[in-house]
Amino acid sequence: MPEKDYNAQNIVVMEGLDAVRLRPGMYIGTTGAKGLHHILWEIVDNSMDEAANGYADRIDIVINEDNSVSVEDNGRGIPVDIHPKYNKSGVELVFTMLHAGGKFDNNEYKFSGGLHGVGASVTNALSKWLTVQVYRDKLEYRQEFHSPIVNGKVKSGVTKTPLIVVGKTNKLRGTKVTFLPDEAVFGKEVFDFNEIKKRIRELAYLNKGVTLSVTDLRSTDEEGKPRNSVFMFKGGLEDFVRYINSSKELQSPKVIYLEGASENFELQLAIQYTTNYGETVISYVNNIPTTEGGTHETGFKSAMTRCFNDYARKNNLLKTKDSNIIGDDYRDGMTAILSIKMQNVQFEGQTKTKLGNPEVKSIVESIVGEKLDEYLSQPKNKDIGNLIVKIGLNSSKVRDAEKRAKDAQRQKNAMTGSVLIGKFSACSGRNADNNELFIVEGDSAGGSAKQGRDRSFQAVLPLRGKPLNCEKKRKEQIIANEEIKTIIYALGTDYDKDFDISNLKYNKVIILADADQDGAHIRAILLTFFYRYMRQLISEGHVYIGMPPLYKIERKGEVQYAYDDEELDKLLEGVKGPYTLQRYKGLGEMNPEQLWETTLNPQKRTLMRVTVEDAAEAERMISTLMGDDVSARKDFIYDNANFNKVDTFAEKYGG
């Protein structure tokens, strides 16, 4: 791509930085671990925008021993000349003025992603110090910023030193940003090597040919060297879809890869078929995961359905008298990754991860339709075309059988009474926004929960056994399982294609299981079902993990509870004299009053909300943990298990 002059006058400024330190949550959501990584992504996003627009092909992240972090790219380098209006260098503008950058008018960046869009100045404002090194014209420039305390108040991200020329450099060009997050904002939170590794792997897949690395100077590998991961994928989305499906059984190893463009719009698409049931579509806009889908997914699905029906008729796989196959049937077993790059993105939805631009549907439909028709017209691709039509025909027959089974089950329920009688205890309140459903492991814990709850808004559904692992089961098998069936009817939403969140009877669906191996397995089974067949429950924030205490400490009639080992240590430090310590082996050991006090009472309990921000990693993890590949499951557990604490699906991958 030919380079244009990139100078300080190209930087557009939207003013205002004072509020960042005062209300960090408005800019980064939280000052916990998620917020800490958020300020790193702001810097990485700037480097990725250089790469996405063809100006850089390498980004290196280094976590230093003091929890500071460096991000270096070989892009054009932030402008160092003086802005004509603000009389400051481009570097100073980018790091001291909110929303300053070269991305607001689409002149310097054809495509701009960024997970958050509030700018590198927020990273500066929430750091103890930040240093920028710029390499341009064989010179190294350097400027330092800090957040000193002046008259008892923190001055956030102010200039410490002017932009100076350090000297000559062998580096042709680029930018390096190093910053130390402020403990006054983030407490003892530290950067997570695996979290960073996961995100840069995804970025490497989405931007083929770009090399991304992360090095952790705080820890070493088996050879005594700092932990390090480097990713570069020449195949891009083709490699990505193979990675996601690595633990699944394939219907065909072939990957359908399509790419195309129109004015200021680029599209890439990779499709592969497995023996799993249902579909998986993972989409991105300017490297941003769109976990709630949007108009780009709608356009893709419409084009795919039309193309395969046309192909089926041209090849006499569908007769004149036959009806067209619906899109759901063609997509059974499909894993698809769709990535688009565009300007003026409009997000909507509960978590702002749904693309809303109406014009995108027709653009995607046109590009995918044209490229897929070309692909299917080639003789070498006839095998995969025939396979997908066969899948569609078979799925159509299965869907009819499932519908009959579902209708029969509904009739049976109507004749014999509710399937919930005998195990489910409803609440008396009829306001779904206030109501909560506790899905509880075991009759003993269920009994305590029923007695200890507030009946006005809390319902209890005890599980009498482990629900069905739905990962490799047909829908008629799922609906036949008593535990799953009861959950579906209790929630009132139906499931899969008939799921309707407007009928949800409970604003919070809380999984309450023991903090042991069996409890973790039950949580994983339930979350897998919700993810596969009621995903909107998760995406709109209705699913929670209940966090009962692990320990009870009693001294002289005073009782305290600890929810993990760290909290226990803190409590015991303050206990003087003899005490009794009880470790709860299960929820059933608590009487109703204890369960209410520690786990059910909204004023005192701890809940963990389950989220899915990384759909690709969640997809791969679920298929690995819940699928049939024992070797892949063992490898995953070995790489990720922490045997010093109970680690749940939600704790590690959402929530």
Residue 139 binned pLDDT confidence (cut-offs 50, 70, 90): very high
Residue 75 CA: distances (Å) to CA of 3, 54, 57: 11, 9, 8
Pair (331, 446) in one structural domain: no
Q: How confident is the model at residue 563 (pLDDT cuts 50, 70, 90)?
A: confident
**What sign results for the dihedral spanned by CA atoms 26, 32, 34, 35?**
positive
pLDDT at 418 over 70: no
Most confident of 382-396, 417-431, 457-471: 382-396
On whether both 117 and 188 belong to a single domain, the answer is: yes
Same-domain status, 570 and 525? no
> What pLDDT score was predicted for residue 21?
81
564: left (phi over 0), alpha (psi -120 to 50) or beta: beta
Flag the least confident range among 502-506, 517-521, 648-652: 648-652
Token digits of residue 651: 């704790």
pLDDT at 413: 57
Instruction: Look at residue 116 in the predicted model and tell me its pLDDT.
Output: 46
CA-CA distance, 236 to 74, in Å (whole number)? 20
Tell me: do 464 and 509 sit in the same domain: yes
Measured CA to CA, the distance from residue 425 to residue 318 in angstroms comes to 50
CA atoms of 397 and 329, how far apart (whole Å): 9
| Residue 405: predicted pLDDT | 67
Whether residue 411 lies inside any domain: the answer is no
Which pLDDT score is estimated for 99? 65
What's residue 630's pLDDT? Answer: 65
- The predicted model gives 436-460 an average pLDDT of 92
CATH at 338:
3.30.230.10
Give the rounded percent of residues in the chain with a pLDDT score beyond 70.
87
> Can you list the positions of beta strands (E) in 451-506?
458-463
Shared domain for 539 and 564, answered yes or no, is no
Same domain, 141 and 15: yes
Q: What percent of the chain has pLDDT over 90?
A: 53
What angle in degrees, to the nearest 10, is found between the helix axes of 615-626 and 517-533? Answer: 130
Q: State the first-to-last Cα distance of the chain, in angstroms, to the nearest integer.
A: 41
Mean pLDDT of 154-165: 92
DSSP assignment string, 580-621: EEEE-S-GGGS-HHHHIIIII-TTT--EEE---S-HHHHHHH
What is the predicted pLDDT for the residue at 3? 66
Same domain, 340 and 446: no
Token pair belonging to 62: 């280094």
Range of the domain at 394: 237-399
Q: Is the pLDDT of residue 655 over 70?
A: no
Does residue 1 fall inside a structural domain?
Answer: no
Nearest-angstrom CA–CA distance, 513 and 519: 5
295 vs 614: CA distance, rounded Å? 19
Question: Does 500 map to a domain?
Answer: yes
Is the separation of the CB atoms in 545 and 606 below 8 Å?
no
Domain boundary among 370, 399, 428: 399
- Inter-residue contact 508 to 459 (CB < 8 Å): no
Structure tokens at 393: 């025909």
104 vs 229, residue with greater confidence: 229
In this structure, what are the phi and psi dihedrals at residue 347, rounded to the nearest 5 degrees?
-100, 150
For 225-265, the three-class secondary structure string (H helix, E strand, C coil) is CEEEEEECCCCCHHHHHHHHCCCCCECCCCCEEEEEEECCE
Single residue among 399, 426, 450 that ends a domain in this structure: 399
Instruction: Report pLDDT for 294.
Output: 94
Whole-number Å distance between alpha carbons of 456 and 341: 49
Catalytic residues: 441, 514, 516, 518
Helices (H), 29-75: 33-52
Same domain, 149 and 272: no
Taking residue 128's Cβ as centre, other Cβ atoms within 10 Å add up to: 17
Q: Which of 80-84, 227-231, 439-443 has the highest mean pLDDT?
A: 227-231
pLDDT digits (tens, 9 = 90+) for 169-198: 999 899 999 999 999 999 999 999 999 999
Burial 304-333, CB ≥16 within 10 A → b, else e: bbbbbbbbbeeeebbeeeeeebebbbbbbb
Amino acid at 410: R
Q: Is 654 a residue whose pLDDT tops 60?
A: no
Q: Indicate the number of domains in the chain.
A: 4
User: From CA 581, how far away is CA 309, in angstroms rounded?
Assistant: 67
Q: Are residues 248 and 204 in the same domain?
A: no
The model's pTM is: 0.81
Residue 57 shares a structural domain with residue 147: yes
Are the CB atoms for 395 and 329 separated by under 8 Å? yes
Predicted confidence (pLDDT) at residue 411 exceeds the cutoff of 70:
no
User: In this structure, are 388 and 439 located in the same domain?
Assistant: no
User: In whole angstroms, what is the distance from residue 634 CA to residue 649 CA?
Assistant: 16
Instruction: Return the pLDDT at 573.
Output: 86
Nearest to 553 by CA among 583, 520, 594: 583
Asked whether residue 490 carries a pLDDT value surpassing 50, the answer given is yes
Tokens at 396, concatenated: 């159509």
Q: What's the pLDDT score for residue 620?
A: 82
Distances in whole angstroms, Cα of residue 515 to Cα of each of 203, 300, 570, 607:
35, 42, 20, 14
Q: 3 lies in a domain?
A: no
Question: How far apart are alpha carbons 543 and 512 in whole angstroms?
Answer: 11
Single out the residue of 213, 367, 229, 347 nearest to residue 303, CA to CA: 367
pLDDT beyond 50 at 370: yes
Three-state DSSP state, 494: coil
Higher pLDDT, 86 or 135: 135
Check residues 576 and 404 and name the one with the higher pLDDT: 576
Residue 2 is assigned to a structural domain of this protein: no
DSSP 254-300: --EEEEEEETTEEEEEEEEEBSSSS-EEEEEETTEE-TT-BHHHHHH
What is the mean predicted confidence (pLDDT) over 293-317?
Answer: 96
Residue ending a domain, choose from 343, 368, 399: 399
Mean pLDDT of 417-445: 82
Phi, psi of 121 (to 5 degrees): -65, -30
Instruction: Compare 404 and 212 and report the one with higher pLDDT.
Output: 212
Q: What pairs with residue 211 in β-bridges?
A: 58
* Interval 453-472 mean pLDDT: 89
Question: Phi and psi at residue 213, in whole multiples of 5°?
Answer: -135, 155
So what's the pLDDT on residue 24? 84
At residue 589 the predicted structure's pLDDT band, cuts being 50, 70 and 90, is confident
**Which one, of 523, 469, 529, 544, lies nearest residue 499 by Cα?**
529
Write down the pLDDT at residue 644. 37
Phi and psi at residue 372, to the nearest 5°: -70, -40
pLDDT score at 642: 47
Output the CA torsion 53→56→57→59 (10° steps).
Answer: -110
In a domain, 588, yes or no: no
CATH number at residue 624: 3.40.50.670
Residue with tokens 């309707």: 500
User: pLDDT tens digits, residue range 603-651?
Assistant: 988 899 988 877 788 888 888 778 777 666 666 665 655 433 433 333 3
The rounded mean pLDDT for the chain is 87
Report whether pLDDT(126) > 60: yes
Domain shared by 36 and 167, yes or no: yes
224 located within any domain: yes
Nearest to 409 by CA among 464, 344, 485: 485
Asked if 504 contacts 537 with a C-beta cutoff of 8 angstroms, the reply is: yes
At 195, which CATH number?
Answer: 3.30.565.10
In a domain, 406, yes or no: no
Angle between helices 33-52 and 193-206 (to 10 degrees): 30
